[in-house]
Structure 1
Amino acid sequence: MSATVSPDQLPLQRLYHWERTAPNRVAFTQPVGGGQTVDYTWKQVVDQARRMAAHLQAQGIGAGDKVAMLSKNTAHWMMTDYAIWMAGAISVPLYPTLAAGTIRQILEHSEAKLLFVGKLDGWLGMKPGIPEGLPCIHHPLAEADAKKSYPGWDDIVAKTAPLAGEPVRPADDLSTIMYTSGTTGAPKGVMHTFANFMAAVAAGLERIPQNEGSRMLSYLPLSHVVERALVEHGQLQTGMHVYFAESLDTFTTDMQRARPTVFFSVPRLWVKFQQAVNHKMPQKKLDTFLKIPILSGIVKKKILSTLGLDQCIFAAGGAAPMPAELLAWYSKLGLNIAEGYGMTENIGASHITTGDPDSFGTVGRPYAPVQCRIAPDNGEIQVKAPWNMLGYYKQPELSAEMFTDDGWLKTGDKGSTDAQGRLKITGRVKDLFKTSKGKYVAPAPIEDKLVMHNAVEACCVTGANLGQPLALLMINAEATAVVKNGGKAELEASLAEHLKHINETLDPHEQLDCLVITSEAWTVDNDLITPTFKVKRNRIEDMFAKNYDRWVGMRKPVVWHG
């Protein structure tokens, strides 16, 4: 099945459309440090992209060549992508948190001819991953060492004449190779065409209220498929205003500046927002206020305003399951969060809910052109969409494994549909594990319950071949501070009570033996989570499985490791 779209809706055509029709409208607002920002109009954006495209062509970059980008989200990330497309090349975005070894693996596997180095935290640790002799160009917000080592964007743009005319690309041209972060194994290069993105975005705009007057804050990696589709390609379709975040430390300020009308976040960050609110206003107090008619409206407005979401008309979550209890918490504040479902292999655009409480616990119905079925043998969700990937770059065997004989994409997720045709994710086909009692345990639904404790940052339910499963927890910074200030016993008692309540809701074979709190933070650097905050179960097993029997043998509801 191939994606079909009107040629004038393809990305380069849309870029030229805004250059012609709205040259002086602000496209991007970019923080540059010290509380300062720079606005870029469509005219400025396209002019810089044209000049960089001309430079790339002068360096011999052309049709079929791969050009990589290693940077956090910035206006120049987007301009770079446009320049690569104009030059006839294929963009290869890298997550800005990757270790040097993974960077080298991707750059070599993709056969990148050139790398753009942009805004990063910890560039010096990444630099050894750049293959010897690979040409690089630095963005204006790159770190000092990159600026010293490589030619600069501004200098190149200043001395290069812009590419003339309106060069376009065929709809079926390969637009990008997106290397999946992957919870297991090495990253794989997902290939998508220009038509794939445009067809997926067109379907998305039928459900998501993005338009010329919309505002979005771009902060999740543009190297992730949802941010790429929703922000980059969404903006090209609608002409909306995109703001960029400066850092984690300034995130609240960034949100206040952008006042996004459409906002997407991963579950872990939605949980952190909730925990920040509860840190200032305990849940019992909040519940009391929300029951008082006049005060309720004031409190809701104050909380949403503090979060920068008071003008948000469409909020969404995805990339991992959204706990129903979390969705209900936001709904009480007057913010209904739509939950989307998809994967890099189908541009993250498979299903989405309306955000109504009635849909909590599901990921909604498929987008109009998407077909979905549940495999009768193992309960796997399989989808067929016009924008399914071409395959994995240089890995035809793995590509073939991802599709059924009749052309349906195998998601690896287990699920079921309700009477309204809404899809419910029940776990991963490969995440199921069997206890020593011969019973299968699906970890995801239990993890959804665990993460609702206000001290839990991330968790992993595990325990293959144990009598009962157990859970490993990473506690958040606030909880860590409580422990350091003498509150360990209080936190332990609270988590034990949380465990008791959860076990009461589970079947006997699912009930957790204990909660294990690890001292080490789970980060991208130590390879325990992906750049989109998904826990790498295989790495958890590698690091901690040798301790399972000892922890269980301690016969404590809460165990501290390290």
Structure 2
Amino acid sequence: MGACGSRDIGEVPDSAPRPSERGFHVEYNGPGPWHACMPDAEVPPRVAKMGVASSDMTNPTTLMLLFGRAAQLKGDRQALLVERPLPEVVDKQVPPALPREEWTAWTYAEYLADVRRAAKGFVQLGMQRFQSVNIWGFNAPEWTMAALAAGFAGGKCAGLYPTDTPETAAYKVVHSCGSVLVVEDRKKMERVVQALAARKDCSTLKAIVAYGFEPEADETVPLPNLDDLPVLSWKALLQLGEEKGSEEEITRRVAQTKPGHCAALIYTSGTTGEPKAVMISHDNIIFETMSVISVLGRSVGFAASASEERMLSYLPLSHVAGFMVDIVAPLIATAEKPAWAAVFFARPYDLKEKAIRDRLCAAKPTIFLGVPLVWERVADTVRAIGQSVTGVKKSVATWAKRLSLDYAKSIQLGGSGERPWGLTAAETLVLNGVKARLGLDECKFGFTGAAPIRVDTLEFFGSLGLLVNEVYGMSE
């Protein structure tokens, strides 16, 4: 995407590559276990003789050690950015994006320090090893910090979808042995507490932490079979960890956590029956993400040079794709590659108010994941602008888009790969400006998944020099 449409990619293969050597994938002769379902289970990593699955390229490790390496190597680089306080919509008008220098930012060193404080706070609240931290709310720095802090506390994160019903959220809290519930707003807290009270089987929850509102002083909530649960702010959690937490305990729990231990529970949609939890180990999520980054590094140069890569976080972090792209990939790019990665957080209302383009223009992501609906909304925006263009400008735009679409089709598998004469001029006169107005002029790779995307949408972006790649996979 972006770069893919503006460079000569060379010879296009006739078909997808097929690895010929089994050892490229996996070479494991141990006794297993091959899978596990208990919270404290460890599945030994299985490595390949060569390639990205080998210990030379992806040495089995944990997210905590990976994070520490990122902060050690590039601690002064920006890691997380968010607009605070949140600009409010007034009379259905979305305020313009703030300039980057006005966004609240964490460097990798500050990011790690807050995660360790949060982990110490979780332990002080009573979290035991192998228990879960549940997180319910829209994407925010506190979401990613809570997810990683769960690992530093010796446990795992079990994210909830922002659209979950209170009953579904309560089910996941109980099912995952949730120890701490991190929640965005008071309404969500009140609704899930009511659902938990109705179940009468919540036995592990120790506290509720709020990152989107300020609890009252010494606020508690009652639940059957439990002492009244304290409700504290994110700031109070960090203060608790700083003042009363033990660095030695966190260091000990990190050392005890193995690559084969569970890092996250990713809940499926529950199409039949209750949602099913997929246990994702540290080794699993790191290897899968490293595989993607390695391919993108070779194909589009992602994370291949000492420069900043940028992501826009807006899709649910409780989904495996959001978890990989917004939480794990930045750590790998920063710790294991020449680059460093910054994650920009969208506003909670951006999709509803059709303002995601504003955040794209502010963040200028170098990699962008969008579900089909998002790509279609962006396409509708461009089409609306194009309807006002007439005369010579329209003729030139039509010519430029035709050349770009011809090239996009030619670089598909089995295509000629030939770059049409005049495409460079078309990019200069038309296409580069359109991509800049979308905030995608620096995007190296765009992709979509989770649902079918219309062919006309793919062709529309191809006509702009933006190649939207379809990806698929399983939560496992």
Measured after TM superposition, the shift of residue 296 of structure 1 is 6.1
Q: Decide whether the 8 Å contact of 2:259 with 2:283 is kept in 1.
A: yes
Is 1:25 matched with 2:77? Answer: yes
Where does residue 291 of structure 1 map in the other structure?
399
In 2, Cα distance between the equivalents of 1:146 and 1:66? 26
In 2, Cα distance between the equivalents of 1:312 and 1:242? 14
In 2, Cα distance between the equivalents of 1:61 and 1:344? 26
Relative contact order higher in (CA < 8 Å, ≥ 6 apart): 2
In 2, Cα distance between the equivalents of 1:242 and 1:306? 20
TM-score for the superposition, normalised by structure 2:
0.66
Where does residue 176 of structure 1 map in the other structure?
264
* 5+ long unaligned stretches in structure 1: 346-562
Q: C-alpha deviations, 1:246-275, integer Å up to 9, x for none?
A: 131453332122100111111111111111
- Label 1:144 to 1:311 Cα distance change in 2 as closer, same or farther (>3 A): farther
- Aligned identity (percent) is 24
Secondary structure at the residue paired with 2:232? coil
1:37-56 paired onto structure 2 within 5 Å? 37-56=103-122
Where does residue 276 of structure 1 map in the other structure?
381
- Label 1:344 to 1:232 Cα distance change in 2 as closer, same or farther (>3 A): same
- Label 1:335 to 1:148 Cα distance change in 2 as closer, same or farther (>3 A): farther
Which residue type is aligned with residue 343 of structure 1? M
- Label 1:327 to 1:147 Cα distance change in 2 as closer, same or farther (>3 A): farther
Which residue type is aligned with residue 17 of structure 1? R
Where does residue 136 of structure 1 map in the other structure?
207
In 2, Cα distance between the equivalents of 1:308 and 1:144? 37
Range with greater deviation from structure 2 (77-86 or 298-307): 298-307
In 2, Cα distance between the equivalents of 1:236 and 1:49? 13
In 2, Cα distance between the equivalents of 1:145 and 1:267? 41
Is 1:187 matched with 2:279? Answer: no
Where does residue 87 of structure 1 map in the other structure?
153
Is 1:11 matched with 2:99? Answer: no
In 2, Cα distance between the equivalents of 1:278 and 1:50? 47
1:481-560 paired onto structure 2 within 5 Å? none
Where does residue 361 of structure 2 map in the other structure?
256
Is 1:164 matched with 2:233? Answer: no
* 5+ long unaligned stretches in structure 2: 1-33, 35-44, 48-54, 88-97, 221-230, 335-340, 401-421
Which residue type is aligned with residue 308 of structure 1? G
In 2, Cα distance between the equivalents of 1:147 and 1:30? 29
In 2, Cα distance between the equivalents of 1:147 and 1:312? 47
In 2, Cα distance between the equivalents of 1:287 and 1:236? 46
Measured after TM superposition, the shift of residue 127 of structure 1 is 5.2
- Label 1:8 to 1:344 Cα distance change in 2 as closer, same or farther (>3 A): closer
Q: Hey, which of these two has a bigger chunk of strand by percent?
A: 1
- Label 1:120 to 1:151 Cα distance change in 2 as closer, same or farther (>3 A): closer
Is 1:343 matched with 2:474? Answer: yes
Where does residue 541 of structure 1 map in the other structure?
none
Q: Decide whether the 8 Å contact of 1:117 with 1:142 is kept in 2.
A: no
Measured after TM superposition, the shift of residue 120 of structure 1 is 8.6
Which residue type is aligned with residue 265 of structure 1? G
Secondary structure at the residue paired with 1:19? helix
In 1, Cα distance between the equivalents of 2:277 and 2:104? 34
Q: Decide whether the 8 Å contact of 1:51 with 1:163 is kept in 2.
A: no
Where does residue 18 of structure 2 map in the other structure?
none
Is 1:316 matched with 2:447? Answer: yes
Which residue type is aligned with residue 465 of structure 2? G
In 1, Cα distance between the equivalents of 2:384 and 2:218? 41
Secondary structure at the residue paired with 1:113? strand
What's the Cα RMSD here? 2.9
Q: Decide whether the 8 Å contact of 1:94 with 1:103 is kept in 2.
A: yes
Q: Decide whether the 8 Å contact of 2:170 with 2:192 is kept in 1.
A: no
Size of the aligned set, in residue pairs, is 345
Where does residue 289 of structure 2 map in the other structure?
201
- Label 1:231 to 1:59 Cα distance change in 2 as closer, same or farther (>3 A): same
In 2, Cα distance between the equivalents of 1:30 and 1:103? 26
